[in-house]
Structure 1
Amino acid sequence: MSEVRLAAETRTEFGKGGARRTRRSGKIPAVIYGHGADPRHVSLPAREFTQAIKRGGGNVLLTLSLDGEDQLTIPKAVQRHPIRGSYEHVDLIAVRIGEKVTIEVPLVIVGDLAPGAMLGQEYTSVQIEAEATHIPNEIEVSIQGLDAGAHITAGDLILPAGSTLVTDAETLLLNVSTAPTAEDIEADTAESIADLGIIEEPSDADVAEAAEGKSDGS
């Protein structure tokens, strides 16, 4: 698990106006929760936080230098601007070395299916319990050579040492079916058009061919 040190500052301005001013100053409004303490409102350096997420993923361990002390945290919820993609607000969980936490970890699919097979993905992540300083950034799921009819449940995952599955082991994550042929796709498209009552306009080639047929028959 990646660990990044950031210089955080205590926030004294709240509300939408305060959040906008924080962002204009190159920082991200954030709140630290956990350990039964009152929430702490802080700001994080936007550029450094963005780089930390890029390098370490959504579960990056952040050591915040705050008011002369170090505070270990993990991002819990991150809000991004819908157009620019910049980080708007971050909720953080306070953690301690040796403490176990329950967290969502993304799945990464590796390998290739057998020819003619198609993959269906029901879930993109699972919940695990792990020591706060040893949370995996991702869990690999191999689909190498899987054929139609195969499936992978949460219980099939190979977890990193020290991690425990929280998601129900019977939860279906991936399933493999037979890929449709070009004929299947064409038939489904025609059926959908018929169901919708859509009348297709003849193409220029169809019109020309019909005209030629009439000319030959005259």
Structure 2
Amino acid sequence: MCGRFTQSYTWDEIHALFEVAGAARNLRPRYNIAPTTEVDAVVDRGQGREVASMRWGLVPAWWKKGLKEVPATFNARAETVASKPMFRDAFRRRRCIVPASGFFEWTDAAGGKQPHFFSAADGGVLAFAGLWDRWTDPASGDELLSCTVIVSGANGWMAPYHDRMPVLLGAADVAGWLSVEAGPEVLRPAAEAALREWPVSKRVNRPGADDDPALVEPVDLEPEAGALL
């Protein structure tokens, strides 16, 4: 799936890629984003594209219980996003793009899970296909914007690390996705040459504890016990 990612880019990069409106502003870099925290999302609510802050973990508008009772909705499967009750209304009406500088997946290793960082092969910003919604807390009356990242099956290159991967929208798909004109046909695995990978510090395994640029720097893996050197 996609359970941790990074957002580290400039306003100029986002403006150029997604043609967002509004005055330039500073965007806080984040290197260890976990579900239920705030993320940047590109949306079009009828007055041009904008960058909005949203909870990562979609809460549908019709949800009647409390926020703590929402199931895990930080990812939506491409195969069922158009029909699953938690996502289908947002799929029809409220699409977004979640910009990312990269994401993490894990492999088994001695001493605990080994995180790997995946970023665009050209070093650019990734465009995760997403959905968003607006929910009102029945107890407090507070409004909450939230989103989810859509994931597809993994391509052959990604498969050794995980059987799922975020859907990466190409430049030609952005307008159709945000306008809700594009259908499920754009929710396909990325090309195998789209990403690059390297192992990173196990500090990534502590969401909320560490959030600094060193988290995405390459590290040397220790040889497994008994391995020939």
- The TM-score bracket by the shorter chain reads under 0.3
Rg larger for: 1
TM-score, structure 2 normalization: 0.23
TM-score, structure 1 normalization: 0.24
Greater RCO between the two (CA within 8 Å, min separation 6)? Answer: 2
